[in-house]
Amino acid sequence: VSSIPISPALNVQSILRITDGYIGLLHTSPDTLQLWKIDLMGNHLWQTVALISGAIPGGSAVATPDGGFLYASAAPPEIRLTKFDADGNIEWTKLGGSPEIEGSNVGINITSDGGYIASTSGVGDMMNRLLKFDGNGDLLWWGDFTRTEQFEGLSNATARFIETSDGGFISAGTL
């Protein structure tokens, strides 16, 4: 097994299970996402750096059915979606969202219709935002929800939404 050169001062942000292995992601600066791929046996296959101008650390990623993955990050005042193929090549980038995206934390998940659901933190002191995108990264709708008073001032009160069997969404976050 070959080692993956990563600065010891940095932490891995995400490891995704994809069809033929794992993708590691590390958002190292506002414009740089370090990526590497490991096969199912733990062999290091490749490493690359993707330039994602204007995005700030605090994003998240989700594996896509085509073997690639989608990375969602804040690029205030919008959200940046960057779709990668299984080899770490950028397929497309979309800026979408709504006014007043202030937070740096973005959660992303895939939905049953092939689209994506994103959530942001820090839209004002008591608000978070939920955004629905189609499979091409185009914004379909967005809405705000109010955090309860016990979560006031917490920037990551809602981290990720998942789709429920009735087509709604549910969330749990870290405090």
Note the pLDDT of residue 123.
55
Note the pLDDT of residue 115.
93
Note the pLDDT of residue 138.
92
pTM equals 0.80
Q: How far apart are CA 56 and CA 41, in angstroms?
A: 32
Q: What angle do CA 57, 122, 34 make, to 5 degrees?
A: 10
| Helix intervals (H) in the chain | none
CB 11, CB 3: distance < 8 Å? no
Q: How far apart are CA 144 and CA 154, in angstroms?
A: 16
CB 117, CB 97: distance < 8 Å? no
Q: Rounded to whole angstroms, what are the CA distances from 5 to 10, 47, 82, 84, 87?
A: 11, 9, 24, 21, 18
Q: Give the chain's end-to-end CA distance (angstroms, integer).
A: 37
CB-based contacts of 14, cutoff 8 Å, min separation 6: 24, 25, 60, 61
For the chain (175 residues), the mean pLDDT of every run of 10, in chain order, is 43 74 80 87 90 76 89 80 92 77 75 88 64 91 69 51 82 56
Nearest to 134 by CA among 87, 77, 76, 70: 70
In degrees and rounded to multiples of 5, residue 120 shows phi and psi of: -125, 160
Percent helix / strand / coil, the chain, rounded to 5: 0, 55, 45
Note the pLDDT of residue 17.
85
Looking only at the bridges linking them, the beta strands covering 21-29 and 14-18 are antiparallel
Residue 37 token pair: 């791929």
